[in-house]
Amino acid sequence: MKALVYHGPGKKSWEEKPKPLIKESTDAIVKILKTTICGTDLHIMKGDVPTVTDGRIIGHEGVGVIDEAGSAVTNFKKGDHVLISCITSCGKCEYCKKAMYSHCEKGGWILGNLIDGTQAEFVRIPYADNSLYLIPANADEEALVMLSDILPTGFECGVLNGQVKPGDTIAIVGAGPIGLAVLLTAQFYSPAEIIMIDQDDNRLNVAKTFGATHTINSANENAVEKVMSITNGKGVDAAIEAVGLPATFELCAAIVDAGGHIANIGVHGKSVTLHLETLWSKNITITTRLVDTVSTPMLFKNFQSHKLDPKKLITHHFKLDDIVKAYETFENAAKEKALKVILTN
Amino acid sequence: MKALVYHGPGKKSWEEKPKPLIKESTDAIVKILKTTICGTDLHIMKGDVPTVTDGRIIGHEGVGVIDEAGSAVTNFKKGDHVLISCITSCGKCEYCKKAMYSHCEKGGWILGNLIDGTQAEFVRIPYADNSLYLIPANADEEALVMLSDILPTGFECGVLNGQVKPGDTIAIVGAGPIGLAVLLTAQFYSPAEIIMIDQDDNRLNVAKTFGATHTINSANENAVEKVMSITNGKGVDAAIEAVGLPATFELCAAIVDAGGHIANIGVHGKSVTLHLETLWSKNITITTRLVDTVSTPMLFKNFQSHKLDPKKLITHHFKLDDIVKAYETFENAAKEKALKVILTN
Amino acid sequence: MKALVYHGPGKKSWEEKPKPLIKESTDAIVKILKTTICGTDLHIMKGDVPTVTDGRIIGHEGVGVIDEAGSAVTNFKKGDHVLISCITSCGKCEYCKKAMYSHCEKGGWILGNLIDGTQAEFVRIPYADNSLYLIPANADEEALVMLSDILPTGFECGVLNGQVKPGDTIAIVGAGPIGLAVLLTAQFYSPAEIIMIDQDDNRLNVAKTFGATHTINSANENAVEKVMSITNGKGVDAAIEAVGLPATFELCAAIVDAGGHIANIGVHGKSVTLHLETLWSKNITITTRLVDTVSTPMLFKNFQSHKLDPKKLITHHFKLDDIVKAYETFENAAKEKALKVILTN
Amino acid sequence: MKALVYHGPGKKSWEEKPKPLIKESTDAIVKILKTTICGTDLHIMKGDVPTVTDGRIIGHEGVGVIDEAGSAVTNFKKGDHVLISCITSCGKCEYCKKAMYSHCEKGGWILGNLIDGTQAEFVRIPYADNSLYLIPANADEEALVMLSDILPTGFECGVLNGQVKPGDTIAIVGAGPIGLAVLLTAQFYSPAEIIMIDQDDNRLNVAKTFGATHTINSANENAVEKVMSITNGKGVDAAIEAVGLPATFELCAAIVDAGGHIANIGVHGKSVTLHLETLWSKNITITTRLVDTVSTPMLFKNFQSHKLDPKKLITHHFKLDDIVKAYETFENAAKEKALKVILTN
């Protein structure tokens, strides 16, 4: 089969690889129908993720069809269409029993990281019963690719951890795909005001059409001052970090109201400064999280009932064969006005 | 001043009464601008509420303007426009400190019950600082009358207690004003499916325009069977009782899924049968509640940011002087297609 | 092997049965070391549980040693000592993923009910990885038998659902083994006052030594009046029903304070009357639950650190061969002053 | 009257000051019976708290008797014995209604800070109804002084925010009075293991007698390694910071398990480094909090029912007249083996 293979920093190729085989009775082999590229994949390609080694097929998102199910798989059979979760869950370790699949002792984020991933014609999915979701007939499978990672990540790490609730004023720092996924799913809880902060006017304009009530271009405006002006000097109930830089985290800490939440989503490469000399008495909560994908069934239901339109996040389409070109587009997201790309096998 | 006075079962009159005076330093006198009639007022008029005695001015909803503020009132001054909460809260008893204002040792539901109420030109509001809410300039005061009672009641007793959450399938039994208030505010939490059950086709049609995804006329259809068909035999995550009869409560118990919630709002006059012989092992939760109005500030924020449109509930308008006629209309709600009426002073 | 077999109402025998075999790769065969008898087993023997049919080996509690593990079992191997949960969990259905194992689509309470149980020399445990717990060397295995059912039941259905918290005043209605399990585990949350209500002075005396601060013999005293006197007329924060009769449920409803919780544990054979005509405005919560055994790991930890002494519940010891005699003792619990019996293989 | 007055860094005197008078109808004047010294008072004396200015009477803890109650005070009358909360709550601002009294718009921590405090013969308490608690006859008033600040602070900022629950393994960093208050109140939730970390062997020995299951002297041992060894390499469920230094905060971050909580109590003078480059994916929660004293009624109940023994924290007694000597002892806490001192008027 063909697959996108990482060969060290800056080197990837769309090349022939052996089709994966069942290794454990709980595995399934899935033929990929549609997949996408994640910001994390770009980090991998730069060599920023040391757990990914030369020869690895990357990718951790997608929908497909069961090609073969291991003998202990009971939820799925050959021919079933399935959504692939970016997080693999064994369903029987201490962390899985606590619904913290991100830290599954045998799974977690392994696809396209510790084992071969989804940017390929076929992929082996361990613990298939707990790591795949059945897609009913007639569902829009392109839209469902957004449920592999980006929507549960935005929802769990941003919205749930930010404890967004009706009437809240929230700020989302970063209007890339993840920030926009937060924006879409935060509205499940009907906050009164949603302030979107970014440095790219195009993305801020997109945010407005997605439901942001205020936008701030922090390249041109003092974001702290503007947030304080919008909130009558109080700050926000939840500040959601969707970038991964010290400056954006510290911006969140500067705009959160007493009693508020800072929900970190960003993948950080450096430490940040936490101003406990002022924050110690502010009754704030800071959270970090690798997505657990516990919200996937809920997202599926709200997608089915038209309460969530994941396709809004999709800007470009490619054949899977053209994945190298798709990477180029995604790497130049600002110029290409790209959010998420869909690769069809 | 003029006021609507209860004179025993079936007897009321719009008559001259003395203007109320400040009794405690924490009182305020409010000139009524707009008020409405509650289903509870109809019960009072029938003699169903023994705490209401001959001579009482009834009514517990409304907006007005501060005519006089007691010396210990600090949140309001003469001329401020205010929303009157149906629940009076002293702010300093054990229950108020637990945010259970409904059971305030000195307040609770006393307006138009134990003390004179709002269907009058003026009303005395005890513990004004904790029982009134400031209305900003330019707010739509007619809409805000819906925040005195019906919207917090639907939201707190139905939505909060029913623990409605994104992805849920819920049923609301009763499509009167309270059931419709549940319908409007349940959508703050983006349930996937909302089933509205009533016996009045007009109200079910209204429910559809308010966001119900399914309606069942239980006069013509077997409601249990139809709910089970919609939910693949599972039942609903939350069944919300907005009528107050044994049959409607027992319907809720028959349609709730394992792990689900029955949230009672209805004012019951009789006991009901609880089938613990089947329910004991179903992991269900049943709640009762007199509204606490703790959600009023949130409702206010979502009203201001256009996430909630209370005016949808208003079908008729009268001058306060015509309140007797307004009662006639409200008493014939089905025929008049009446939900809430607005009385303007 | 030898096993206790149900042969219709009133008929049981300790007889030879075939040793169970692995049926699915996720099964384990466990050699029983110690087991016990549950109140539910007495109901079964009377014919009250129609799902139990002639020929069934009963029992759903115990500790044992892995005799054989199916090929897909990864958490256990031959020779491991294990605690058997009364609830079987597949770990991969909708309910298991919500931690509601009681309603597992393929498991739940099936041991000694729909499949052969633990009152035998060997038992087959489906979904062994999710339904057994490893016992470390040197642990007191007799004490651990109390973690199969009675302690998680008391804790989850009574204490967790009753939302017992520091400072609370709670009442436990029924001082049998389940009520006493509530009493032991309620103290994990340090309620200020614990009122134990029963009609057996011996059990009430036991309750005092277990930590009850007040006891009421409802055969001799007016329980409602006494609770009201203890609580200054307010009632209790949580009333926990551990009997299963209309009278005891209705007692709970009569003694709960506004804002309080009624947590039902009892297995009811009849419906009860719920006085919504007074309760509708009391802001109460009523819960039902079949134990999920989600608390087993926590109970294990607190047992290991000596925060919980399950052996207090054990009053009698028998050889497994003498199980018929053990039933006689347990059936005459009041006369024998029996709480839980231990049967050793 | 006599009072302890701050006169700039390093300067204090026990001197004559005018007896306070009622300023608002919601005030009460309280004659101090017993008070104590807080670690914060030492910071004030060093000049570390810029809001405290020359001439201020300090102190924010104590019990007393109502000398005069303002006309709007309804919960107390002259002669009532009362516990003084360190936090003043108006009961009617947005934050008080959210039970976040620490950020009360007119109160919060003002006693002995923005207004005169309790280290005096009399003190004026604003919003007396919401800021005092009635002491019943025969209660041990010396013990109750510990409920003014140190016990609610340890409980709310450490135990509640750390979400300590049955079965948890927790670490408390700092075995001073606050850390020991955490230790006493953490046991309300029955954690399995409590690891106490400090550099003073005497305090660690005290911690053992208070219920710590492990102690680590971080002056002699590698605390991270030892915690990891105790927890099988996992880390703790909650790490509670009770010192206020970068090193102790960063120790907490180094020992918390995935999914765990870092609850900051310490008053920090400097920023800390937060290692988001490793923590971003660990699903942790960090909280800060100025005590709200919402738990005071619960602490009172558990004290009354002997579930909490505050007197364990008291090591020294002085006459109020000898307060300068008491400061000397408290300033040399390690040498004097001092925890809390009681000053009697």
Band of pLDDT at residue A53, cut at 50, 70 and 90: very high
- Give the tokens for residue B40: 């509870």
CA dist B331 and A11 (Å) reads 77
Would you state the pLDDT for residue C296?
Answer: 98
Would you state the pLDDT for residue A270?
Answer: 96
Mutate to test the interface with C, among A94, A97, A299 (most CBs of C within 10 A): A97
What strands lie across the sheet with B236-241, from one edge to the other?
Answer: B214-217, B193-198, B169-173, B236-241, B256-264, B285-287, C285-287, C256-264, C236-241, C169-173, C193-198, C214-217
Residue type for C17, please? K
CA angle A201/A207/A213 to nearest 5° reads 110
Facing C267 at nearest CB: one of B264, B280, B285: B280
Tell me if A92 and C71 make a contact (CB, 8 A cut-off): no
Would you state the pLDDT for residue D131?
Answer: 98
Q: Compute the nearest-CA separation of D129 from chain B (Å).
A: 6
Beta bridge partners of C134: C82
Mean pLDDT on B213-227? 97
CA dist C96 and C92 (Å) reads 6
| Average model confidence (pLDDT) across chain A | 97
Nearest partner of A173 among A263, A101, A257, judged by Cα? A263
Facing B302 at nearest CB: one of A188, A192, A307: A192
The ipTM value here is: 0.97
| Residue B203 three-state SS | helix
Nearest partner of A60 among A1, A115, A135, A128, judged by Cα? A115
- Give the tokens for residue B35: 């008020």
Tell me if C307 and D166 make a contact (CB, 8 A cut-off): yes
Would you state the pLDDT for residue D69?
Answer: 98
Mean pLDDT on A170-174? 98
Tell me if C288 and B271 make a contact (CB, 8 A cut-off): no
Residue type for C286, please? I
CB B62 within 8 A of CB B153: no
**pLDDT tens-digit readout, C45-100:** 999 999 999 999 999 999 999 999 999 999 999 999 999 999 999 999 999 999 99
Mean pLDDT on B186-198? 98
Q: Compute the nearest-CA separation of A165 from chain B (Å).
A: 9
**Residues on D contacting B at a C-beta cutoff of 8 Å:** 25-26, 71-72, 74-75, 91-92, 94, 96-97, 99, 129-130, 294, 297
Tell me if D167 and C213 make a contact (CB, 8 A cut-off): no
Which residues from B are below 8 Å from A134, CB to CB?
Answer: none
Would you state the pLDDT for residue B124?
Answer: 98
Contacts of D53-57 with CB under 8 Å at 24 or more apart are D53/D6, D54/D6, D54/D7, D54/D8, D55/D5, D55/D6, D55/D7, D56/D5, D56/D6, D56/D112, D56/D113, D56/D116, D56/D117, D57/D3, D57/D4, D57/D5, D57/D6, D57/D17, D57/D112, D57/D116, D57/D117, D57/D119, D57/D120, D57/D123
Tell me if B302 and A187 make a contact (CB, 8 A cut-off): no
In percent, the amount of chain A with pLDDT more than 90 equals: 99
Would you state the pLDDT for residue D32?
Answer: 98
Q: Which residues contact C50 (CB under 8 A, 6 or more apart)?
A: none
Mean pLDDT on A258-285? 97
Mean pLDDT on A93-100? 96
Facing B276 at nearest CB: one of C102, C272, C281: C272
Q: Cα torsion at B198, B199, B203, B207 (round to 10°)?
A: 30
**pLDDT tens-digit readout, A298-325:** 999 999 999 999 999 999 999 999 999 9
With b meaning 16 or more CB within 10 Å and e meaning fewer, what string describes C264-290?
bbbbbeebbebebeebbbbbbbbbbbb
Tell me if D72 and B25 make a contact (CB, 8 A cut-off): yes
Which residues from D are below 8 Å from C307, CB to CB?
Answer: 166, 190, 192
Residue type for B43, please? H
Band of pLDDT at residue C137, cut at 50, 70 and 90: very high
Would you state the pLDDT for residue A338?
Answer: 96
**pLDDT tens-digit readout, B114-155:** 999 999 999 999 999 999 999 999 999 999 999 999 999 999
Tell me if D91 and B25 make a contact (CB, 8 A cut-off): no
With b meaning 16 or more CB within 10 Å and e meaning fewer, what string describes B321-333?
ebbeebbebbeeb
Q: What end-to-end distance do the CA atoms of chain B give, in Å? A: 11
Q: Which residues contact A337 (CB under 8 A, 6 or more apart)?
A: A202, A315
DSSP state of D112: T
Tell me if A71 and C25 make a contact (CB, 8 A cut-off): yes
Residue type for B14, please? W
Report phi then psi at A229, rounded to 5: -65, -40
Overall size of chain D counted in residues: 345
Facing B25 at nearest CB: one of D71, D91, D96: D71
DSSP state of A158: I
CA dist B38 and B181 (Å) reads 13
CA dist B174 and B323 (Å) reads 26
Q: Chain B residue closest to A188 (CA)? A: B190
**pLDDT tens-digit readout, C11-24:** 999 999 999 999 99
Tell me if B302 and A167 make a contact (CB, 8 A cut-off): yes
Facing C91 at nearest CB: one of A71, A91, A294: A91
Band of pLDDT at residue B335, cut at 50, 70 and 90: very high
Mutate to test the interface with D, among B74, B97, B129 (most CBs of D within 10 A): B97
Tell me if B285 and C280 make a contact (CB, 8 A cut-off): no
Evaluated on CA atoms C333, C337, C339, C345, the torsion sign reads negative
CA dist B149 and B178 (Å) reads 9
Overall size of chain A counted in residues: 345
- Give the tokens for residue D112: 């002995």
Chains A, C: CB contacts under 8 A, how many?
34
Would you state the pLDDT for residue D286?
Answer: 98
Would you state the pLDDT for residue B214?
Answer: 98
Mean pLDDT on B205-231? 98
**pLDDT tens-digit readout, C150-174:** 999 999 999 999 999 999 999 999 9
Q: Compute the nearest-CA separation of A51 from chain D (Å).
A: 14
Q: Compute the nearest-CA separation of C254 from chain D (Å).
A: 23
With b meaning 16 or more CB within 10 Å and e meaning fewer, what string describes C13-44?
ebeebeebebebebbbbbbbbbbbbbbbbeeb
Q: Compute the nearest-CA separation of B147 from chain C (Å).
A: 19
Mean pLDDT on A59-79? 98
**Residues on A contacting B at a C-beta cutoff of 8 Å:** 165-167, 187-190, 192-193, 213, 297-302, 304-305, 307
Question: pTM of the prediction?
Answer: 0.97
Which residues from D are below 8 Å from B297, CB to CB?
Answer: 94, 97
The tens place of each residue's pLDDT in chain D, 345 residues long, gives 999 999 999 999 999 999 999 999 999 999 999 999 999 999 999 999 999 999 999 999 999 999 999 999 999 999 999 999 999 999 999 999 999 999 999 999 999 999 999 999 999 999 999 999 999 999 999 999 999 999 999 999 999 999 999 999 999 999 999 999 999 999 999 999 999 999 999 999 999 999 999 999 999 999 999 999 999 999 999 999 999 999 999 999 999 999 999 999 999 999 999 999 999 999 999 999 999 999 999 999 999 999 999 999 999 999 999 999 999 999 999 999 999 999 999
Tell me if A192 and B297 make a contact (CB, 8 A cut-off): no
Overall size of chain C counted in residues: 345
Tell me if C94 and A129 make a contact (CB, 8 A cut-off): no
| Residue B317 three-state SS | strand
**Subunit partners of chain C (3 or more CB pairs within 8 A):** A, B, D
Mutate to test the interface with D, among C190, C236, C295, C300 (most CBs of D within 10 A): C190
Tell me if D103 and A258 make a contact (CB, 8 A cut-off): yes
Mutate to test the interface with B, among A159, A164, A188 (most CBs of B within 10 A): A188
Mean pLDDT on A192-205? 97
- Give the tokens for residue D14: 């026990």
Nearest partner of B345 among B33, B6, B16, B7, judged by Cα? B33
Tell me if C71 and A25 make a contact (CB, 8 A cut-off): yes
Would you state the pLDDT for residue C136?
Answer: 94
Three-state secondary structure of chain C: CEEEEECCCCCEEEEECCCCCCCCCCCEEEEEEEECCCHHHHHHHHCCCCCCCCCCECCCCEEEEEEEECCCCCCCCCCCEEEECCCECCCCCHHHHCCCHHHCCCCECCECCCECCCCECEEEECCHHHHEEECCCCCCHHHHHHHCCHHHHHHHHHHHCCCCCCCCEEEEECCCHHHHHHHHHHHHHCCCEEEEEECCHHHHHHHHHHCCCEEEECCCCCHHHHHHHHCCCCCEEEEEECCCCHHHHHHHHHHEEEEEEEEECCCCCCCEEECHHHHCCCCCEEECCCCCCCCHHHHHHHHHCCCCCHHHHEEEEEEHHHHHHHHHHHHCHHHHCCCEEEEEC
Which residues from B are below 8 Å from C282, CB to CB?
Answer: 288, 290
Nearest partner of B149 among B175, B118, B191, judged by Cα? B118
Report phi then psi at D270, rounded to 5: -135, 160
CA dist D33 and B311 (Å) reads 57
Evaluated on CA atoms A85, A89, A91, A94, the torsion sign reads negative
Three-state secondary structure of C261-280: EEEECCCCCCCEEECHHHHC
Which residues from C are below 8 Å from D213, CB to CB?
Answer: 305
